[in-house]
């Protein structure tokens, strides 16, 4: 154990009724995870981990739990049953593999990994770990838990909408050079694995392919149009997708097309949009969901809360996803958003990069 681990913060004893949780990476997004742990009666914060002594000391002071300089030290101390990975993208796969191999459950922020090769290796490691020890991997695509999104999925699965005809989604946000300068890894291929698509728009792309169906890229492009001097990755992207439509009355249906546009060059952080047109209704997501039925009826499904402040774009459902992950861990059930599920959007993003950049310029 590192000499700078606070000795006066006593380790949390093992308790079958409560999962001992450690948050690895004490940056911006960790605040959401820490709040969710505190709100869960079946979990207790047992430790924080950060390679930066200042961040580690601040987290220890705020939460009164031991601080570790590395995941390896945490594992050696046997101090946690679950770790939340809130670290830069390029560290996700290696840290997750290390924890899973030790029999520790992992909940990772998106993306599952910053390269497809790392993601595929992690998926294999997660399978082996679950078989060997029951340790499992979850990935934070929390917007799947938003009340309007769940309502969309129920309607689509229930068949009352008829055939899906098409879909569109947009992410029109604003980022400045200062945003990237504050966390330099965000603007690099090596640190982030990409730009706008990997760090912001991946959530909406994930929803599009989860709701409409498995997708392939028909065409698309990505480039830095406003921040070329500040970052080496993209700030704008457009994608045309085709989604498998399955069969209807035993007849294979033609694929459904969707259009996706995202940028960090907008003047403000505008609301994310996602629209699906079907035979019986049009679904329009703008925070809340509006359903306009072909017979003239209109329904609204409200979001269950609003995250205030300049981090509102994180959404409101981290706590719901984290609660569900803990439930799966305690029940010994496989959590539904694992490595393979999380690779759907990652594969689409990497396809767009392959169409947009020369070999060797991206990862």
Calculate the CA 32 to chain-centre distance: 13
What is the sign, positive or negative, of the torsion defined by CA atoms of 186, 214, 144, 171? positive
For range 89-100, the mean pLDDT: 98
- CA–CA separation, 137 vs 139, rounded Å? 7
Q: 229-269: per-residue pLDDT in tens?
A: 999 999 999 999 999 987 778 888 889 999 999 999 999 99
Quote the mean pLDDT of the chain: 93
- CA–CA separation, 344 vs 202, rounded Å? 10
Quote the pLDDT of residue 246: 78
Residue whose C-alpha is closest to residue 27's, from 62, 72, 71, 59: 59
CB 345 within 8 A of CB 202: yes
The three-class DSSP label of residue 252 is: strand
Q: 146-167: per-residue pLDDT in tens?
A: 999 999 999 999 999 999 999 9
Annotated domain spans of the chain: 19-142, 145-302+338-356
CB 326 within 8 A of CB 40: yes
- CA–CA separation, 326 vs 345, rounded Å? 24
Q: 240-250: per-residue pLDDT in tens?
A: 999 998 777 88
CATH architecture classification, 145-302+338-356 = 2-Layer Sandwich (3.30)
* Cα end-to-end distance, the chain, whole Å: 35
Q: 172-214: per-residue pLDDT in tens?
A: 999 999 999 999 999 999 999 999 999 999 999 999 999 999 9
pLDDT over 70 for what percent of the chain? 93
Q: Which two tokens stand for residue 161?
A: 């909408």
Class of domain 19-142: alpha beta
Residue whose C-alpha is closest to residue 189's, from 114, 263, 94: 114
Q: Where are the alpha helices (DSSP H) in 159-296?
A: 177-182, 189-192, 196-199, 202-212
Q: 289-345: per-residue pLDDT in tens?
A: 999 999 999 999 998 765 444 444 445 799 999 999 999 999 999 999 999 999 999
pTM of the full structure = 0.93
């Amino acid at each position: 154990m590192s000499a700078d681990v606070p000795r006066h913060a006593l380790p949390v004893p093992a308790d079958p009724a409560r999962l001992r949780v450690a948050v690895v990476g004490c940056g911006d997004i960790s605040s959401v995870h820490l709040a969710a742990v505190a709100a869960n009666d079946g979990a207790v914060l047992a430790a924080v981990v950060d390679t930066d002594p200042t961040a580690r000391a601040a987290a220890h002071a705020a939460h009164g739990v031991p601080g570790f300089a590395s995941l390896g030290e945490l594992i050696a101390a046997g101090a946690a049953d679950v770790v939340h990975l809130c670290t830069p993208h390029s560290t996700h796969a290696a840290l997750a593999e290390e924890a899973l191999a030790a029999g520790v459950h992992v909940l990772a922020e998106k993306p599952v990994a910053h390269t497809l090769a790392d993601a595929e290796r992690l998926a294999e490691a997660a399978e082996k770990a679950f078989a060997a020890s029951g340790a499992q991997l979850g990935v934070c695509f929390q917007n799947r838990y938003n009340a309007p999104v769940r309502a969309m999925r129920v309607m689509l699965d229930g068949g009352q909408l008829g055939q899906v005809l098409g879909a569109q989604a947009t992410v029109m946000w604003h980022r400045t050079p200062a945003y990237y300068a504050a966390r330099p890894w965000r603007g690099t291929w090596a640190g982030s694995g990409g730009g706008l698509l990997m760090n912001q728009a991946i959530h909406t792309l994930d929803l599009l392919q989860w709701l409409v169906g498995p997708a392939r890229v028909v065409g698309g492009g990505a480039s830095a149009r406003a921040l070329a001097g500040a970052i080496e990755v993209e700030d704008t992207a457009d994608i045309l997708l085709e989604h498998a439509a399955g069969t209807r009355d035993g007849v294979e249906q033609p694929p459904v097309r969707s259009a996706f546009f995202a940028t960090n060059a907008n003047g403000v952080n505008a609301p994310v949009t996602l629209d699906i047109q079907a035979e019986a209704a049009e679904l329009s997501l703008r925070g809340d969901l509006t359903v306009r039925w072909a017979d003239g009826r209109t329904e609204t499904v409200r979001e269950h809360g609003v995250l205030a402040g300049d981090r509102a774009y994180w959404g409101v459902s981290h706590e719901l996803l984290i609660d569900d992950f803990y439930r799966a861990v305690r029940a010994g059930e496989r959590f539904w958003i694992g490595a393979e599920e999380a690779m759907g959007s990652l594969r689409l993003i990497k396809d767009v990069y392959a169409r947009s950049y020369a070999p060797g310029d991206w990862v």
